[in-house]
Structure 1
Amino acid sequence: MTFILSVLALLLILATALPLSIRREWWIRALDFPRLQIAILAALWLVSWWVIMPHEGTWLNILALAVAIVTLYQFKWIYPNTEMHRQEVERYDSSVDGNCPHFKMITSNVLMTNRDSAPLLSLIKKHQPDILVTLESDQWWQDKLDTLQSYEYRMACPLDNLYGMHVYSRLPLSNTQTSYLVEDDKPSMNATVQISPGVDIRLHIVHPAPPAPGENDESTERDVELLLLANAIAEKRDGARDGARDGERIVVAGDLNDVAWSATTRLFRQLSGLLDPRIGRGLFNTFSAEHWYARWPLDHVFVSRHFKVTNIQRLPNIGSDHFPLMVELAITDSAQQSSEMEDEEVDEERLDSIMNSTAAQNAQMPVI
């Protein structure tokens, strides 16, 4: 039993230590994902140690101390995505904020091979979003979604490589663009959305490839796309400051193939200055819909300081490997909210490593 506990403890320690590296191999970056699972396994290890053999010598006692540190360290990363933490984006209160323009958006990675559109169409009918964003949507999905007659404004990029992308909107779209920033077959979209007369937002949709076997051997391409967008947002914001407004109203949404607590996502938030509506509200794990024990928040919505949250929720399974995510936002333009990221030092070593990569040198700059 001592041998088994020792091996398990060493594996937990190794799985915690490896992601500290700035290396981008997929098998290292994959360990960014299961922090909750590692914390639970570490806690179970401590219970087993305490119940079975708490007095079996110095070696196990040292391992128990190390595993306790692992448990606390892993939970530290998860803690902001719990209701115990302060909400980063405030809740909209009409009695305080007044009658503000608002909109509802559903983002859904439909799973290209899923050939049952009825569950998603049913959710659209039930929730009546103003904007629908679909990922992995090919021509078959476009044909099904084109039946949404009330969604007059559209962007379409049907692909059969798992990276198709569509936007269906009841609200007017302008300045629309589909770009291939890092990889020639991985699109991103951006558009100006008119929420109400005189009130616009800039919407960016992203779906970079994950670091995984059969995709990319490293996370470089994903990281570059996210950080290029973050830098472009920051430059536009800094250039637009006029005292009354904190830059442009911006929403970034999509399947980032990265978790909310990863080093890259944190860099994205630090550089862009965008806020995460899930902080202080919950994990909102959207992947995998197929495995309850291995779920992570891969589908994201980030917003500038102009917004408050009316509602955010994970919707029921539609037959995909992702759950849809719905968010309703009010535009208050208060610009008083702040991110905990502002007080953290930027990981310059990691940032330089990503932005000096070949993928970054060959990438296109996003249009903001």
Structure 2
Amino acid sequence: MLEISKSLFTGIGYLVIIISLIPLIRHDHWAFRVCEYPRLQKLFINIFLLIMLIGFFGISTASDQVILVLLVLNAGYLFYQVFPFTILAKKQLLTVKKRRVDRQIGLFIGNVYQYNRKAHDYLKTINSKDPDVVMLVETDKWWASEIEPLYKKYPHQLLVPLENTYGMMLFSKFKLHAGKVKYLVEKDIPSVHAKIELPSGDMISFHGLHPTPPVPNENPRSTERDKEILLVGKEAKKSKLPVIVAGDLNDVAWSYTTDLFSKISGLLDPRKGRGFFNTFHAKYLFLRFPLDHVFCSNDFTLIDIKRMPNCGSDHFPMYIKLQYSPEIEAKQEEPEADQEEKKTASKKINKAT
């Protein structure tokens, strides 16, 4: 029985290693892309297997030594991938030092889950932070009517309630200029784009996204998601204004596409050096991933970032408060894509959908 158990743990070990390496295959099919999501989970399972094989079963044969070495290497590889999001890593976005209230923007983003009926809880959570800008996705006509109190408090709006779980609603206390709803890749998947005027008079270019995930019941490929994310990345790079990109990107913070987006856009990730801020799945502790994102240009500094309490959705909302600090730009290194990465991004953008 002990040998059977040891064989089972060894088999699971090889499976974890294979699943860890599958994302290195740059294929758009969901079976390859979804393996990028559970890196933390794979790391924990990897470490557990190492403890069991060494402490409980023992290393007595050549095959035991092989799996031990492979698991140690795999643990190191997985830790390397998630390390930038631990508190041990360097902060990519600096914390604000000198505050200017008129240059601050508090942003609340949340995937409400279209069939969630706890609108009151959502409103209560939003009010607890009193943000300047609120972006909600998966908002249908029911949600549009239930969050009516936001209409008076946030007079500047871009509203696209839809019944296909891709509705989007943007509310702002600050003036919105050149506000547009775009369908960048798919005709029924909107994104919102606007210039937000801060009380100081400074303008911010804002992009709100919610592309489709690469899962069998939604979209069997990541092609459309990757294309939309990278299109906005290229637009952000060309912007002469400070930039914020936010939303449920249906991609994890450490994925190849998200990393490529950061380099193509030159935008910073406030989570790096601060934590994972896993927002999905709100109801399953071991199956949580950082799917809801806020990226900003290097002329911002961070005041606050927080994962908010669950409001009945399968996503936790996120709150972030930034300050436009142009004087800090030279001190914050902007991510840069090399020539190969630029070619890869162009191929993804030009790929047929």
TM category, shorter? over 0.9
TM-score by length of 1: 0.91
**Among 346, 354, 362, the residue aligned to 2:348:** 354
CA contact (8 A) 1:81 1:279 kept: yes
Distance 1:99 1:121, change over 3 A: closer
| Residues 280-359 of structure 1 mapped to structure 2, 5 A cutoff | 280-334=273-327, 335-339=329-333, 341-342=335-336, 346-347=340-341, 350-351=344-345, 353-359=347-353
Residue 98 to residue 156, structure 1, CA distance change in 2 (3 Å)? closer
Q: Distance in 2 between matches of 1:132 and 1:340?
A: 27
Measure, in 2, the Cα distance between the counterparts of 1:216 and 1:343. 28
Alignment partners' CA distance in 1, 2:229 and 2:66: 40
- Asked if residue 177 in structure 1 is aligned to residue 180 in structure 2, the reply is yes
SS at match of 1:196: coil
Deviation (angstroms), 1:155: 0.8
Shift of 1:349: 6.7
Contact 2:102 2:199 in 1 (8 A): no
Aligned residue-pair number: 347
Partner-residue secondary structure (3-state), 1:161: coil
Q: What does residue 145 of structure 1 align with?
A: 147
Tell me the distance in 1 between the aligned counterparts of 2:205 and 2:19.
39
Indicate the larger mover: 341-350 or 294-303: 341-350
Measured against aligned partners, the alpha-carbon deviations of 1:287-324 in whole angstroms (never above 9, x if no partner) come to 11010111011000000111100000000000000001
The residue number in structure 1 matching 2:224 is 221
Q: Is the 8 A contact 2:264 2:336 kept in 1?
A: no
User: Measured at CA, do residues 197 and 99 of structure 1 come closer, stay the same or move farther in structure 2, by a change above 3 Å?
Assistant: closer
1:212 is aligned with what amino acid?
Answer: V
**Shift in alpha-carbon separation, 1:337–1:182, aligned structure 2, 3 A:** farther
1:267 matches 2:260 = yes
* Deviation digits for residues 106-135 of structure 1 (CA, Å, limit 9, x no counterpart): 001000001121111111222111111000
TM superposition shift of 1:352: 5.1
- Residue 28 (1) aligns with residue 4 (2): no
Return closer, same or farther for 1:76/1:345 CA change in 2, 3 Å cut-off: farther
Counterparts in 2 of 1:48-67, with a 5 A limit?
Answer: 48-67=52-71
Once the two structures are superposed, the pairs formed by residues 196-211 of structure 1 within 5 Å of their partners are 196-211=199-214
TM-score, normalization by structure 2:
0.94
**Does residue 109 of structure 2 align to residue 115 of structure 1?**
no
Question: For 1:125-180, what per-residue CA distance to the aligned partner results, in whole angstroms no more than 9, with x for missing partners?
Answer: 22111111000011111112222222111110000111000011111111000010
8 Å Cα contact 2:244-2:295 kept in structure 1: yes
**What secondary structure does 1:342 align onto?**
coil
CA RMSD in angstroms, aligned pairs only: 1.7
Q: Which residue of 1 aligns with 2:243?
A: 250
1:351 CA displacement: 3.2
Match of 1:89 in 2: 93
Alpha-carbon offset, residue 32 of structure 1:
0.5
Could you say if the C-alpha distance between residues 44 and 219 of structure 1 is closer, same or farther in structure 2, counting changes exceeding 3 Å? Answer: same
Match of 1:128 among 130, 137, 155: 130
Structure 2 distance, partners of 1:349, 1:88, is 25
1:8: which partner in 2?
12
User: 1-side partners of 2:171 and 2:75: how far apart?
Assistant: 43
Give identity over the alignment, percent: 34
Code of the aligned partner of 2:297: S
| 1:160-216 Cα distance to aligned partner (Å, 9 max, x none) | 111000011111111000010111110001011111142111110000000001111
Change (3 A) 1:7 1:352: farther
SS across alignment from 1:49: helix
Report the Cα distance in structure 2 between the residues aligned to 1:113 and 1:98, rounded to whole angstroms. 40
Q: Structure 1 pair 191/99, CA: closer, same or farther in 2 (3 Å)?
A: closer
Q: Is 2:234 the counterpart of 1:231?
A: yes
Cα distance between partner residues in 1 of 2:323 and 2:220: 40
| Letter paired with 1:129 | P
8 A Cα contact 2:206 2:245, kept in partner = yes
Looking at structure 2, the residues matched to 55 and 197 of structure 1 have their Cα atoms a distance apart, in angstroms, of: 65
Q: Aligned equivalents of 1:196 and 1:88: distance in 2? A: 26
Q: Which amino acid aligns with 1:328?
A: K
Give the CA deviation at 1:267.
0.4
Cα distance in 1 for residues equivalent to 2:313 and 2:129: 19
Q: Distance in 2 between matches of 1:4 and 1:230?
A: 44
| Contact 1:230–1:271 (Cα < 8 Å) also in 2 | yes
Determine the C-alpha separation between the residues in 1 that align with 2:255 and 2:125. Answer: 30
Q: CA deviation at 1:28?
A: 1.0
CA distance in 1, matches of 2:322, 2:171: 17
CA distance in 1, matches of 2:158, 2:112: 16
State the distance in 2 between where 1:343 and 1:219 align: 21
**Are the structure 2 counterparts of residues 258 and 194 from structure 1 closer, same or farther at C-alpha, using a change threshold of 3 Å?**
same
Q: Is this contact kept in 2: 1:2–1:60, CA < 8 A?
A: no
Task: Determine the C-alpha separation between the residues in 2 that align with 1:152 and 1:120.
Answer: 19
1:195 & 1:258 partners in 2: Cα distance? Answer: 29
Contact 1:89–1:337, Cα closer than 8 Å, also in 2: no
Amino acid in the other structure paired with 1:143 = S
Q: 1:287 to 1:154 in 2, by over 3 A?
A: same
SS of residue matched to 2:310 = coil
